[in-house]
Structure 1
């Protein structure tokens, strides 16, 4: 299937809460996002083995679990769901902290540079501030320069923390980025 690039001046996508019916579309976004963004940064065999149906089943399982994870999707007329983000409390040593954490933010590769990622990030940051998080952290592959530029443009900065992420026995280094949040207006 060939996709035509979306013009950079495309209208802002609709951002809404994810529903269980979105699990397959979110899995497609996640799998294609990983395969595009992480090519050359982690074992190709791992990326090639990613399966949308299996990922959709995991998404359904995660979605039905009660918890503090907030999932939002971006959609456009025609293609439907074109991006996904998830955030919640920062997790450290099995504890949840006051800090928020962006667990995931992915867009379909043909949507890169069209404002979908920016719209998802703006929604996550607004919701995290409204939830009272003083700041938000995220982990990004150290060698993923495009993602690091995206996060830096969104106001995130590396704080010096670094950890390996194990992918099929290969240690892929990640760095932590943090962004302070302003309290909600009137709060």
Structure 2
């Protein structure tokens, strides 16, 4: 049994583990190996804990848990995407490889979309690495509309991200 719920401070080590392990599994061969090996559970846990401890942090963090955290998603205001009609953003969504394909990503996505609708957001976007075909397929299956792309630098190399947009009031997942 998996439960989707708002994250608590005690979930931070599990969130960090999911993030680091999923990045290493998903982006090997896409981003520099040194960057992936430089990711640490402690560093990511510190980052998420800082957000959850800050009363004015605009993020909303959800976890999928089944005795331990097996996935998570963070939502919040758009972080200067260049698409002014999109006021909300899915900042990140990761599910451990062994738990993928079981509907957890969709459930995390839906929970965040419901919250953003309740906060009066009409549209949300998500950025995904252009080479992450699995992630892109996931967002396309959810009805995401390709909005554009941008170049980023990650681990000292230039990569491309693509943005997918979602109408929070018109789409049903």
What TM-score does the superposition give when structure 1 sets the normalisation length? 0.84
Q: Distance in 1 between matches of 2:73 and 2:9?
A: 14
How many residue pairs get matched?
A: 168
Report Cα offsets for 1:34-86 as digits up to 9, x if no partner.
1111111111111122111221112111221222211010111x4x1111100
Q: Distance in 1 between matches of 2:29 and 2:161?
A: 15
Q: 1:91–1:97: 8 Å Cα contact kept in structure 2?
A: no
Structure 1 residue runs without a partner (length 5+): 1-10
Structure 2 residue runs without a partner (length 5+): none
User: Of 127, 151, 167, which aligns to 2:115?
Assistant: 127
Q: Distance in 2 between matches of 1:97 and 1:61?
A: 29
Q: In terms of Rg, which structure is larger?
A: 1
What TM-score does the superposition give when structure 2 sets the normalisation length? 0.90
Q: 2:146–2:164: 8 Å Cα contact kept in structure 1?
A: yes
Q: Distance in 1 between matches of 2:16 and 2:31?
A: 19
- The answer to whether residue 23 in structure 2 is matched with residue 34 in structure 1 is yes
When the two chains are superposed, the root-mean-square deviation of aligned CA atoms in Å is 1.9
Q: Distance in 1 between matches of 2:117 and 2:146?
A: 20
Q: Distance in 2 between matches of 1:55 and 1:92?
A: 23
Cα displacement (A) at 1:98: 6.0
Structure 2 counterpart of 1:83: 71
Structure 2 counterpart of 1:145: 133
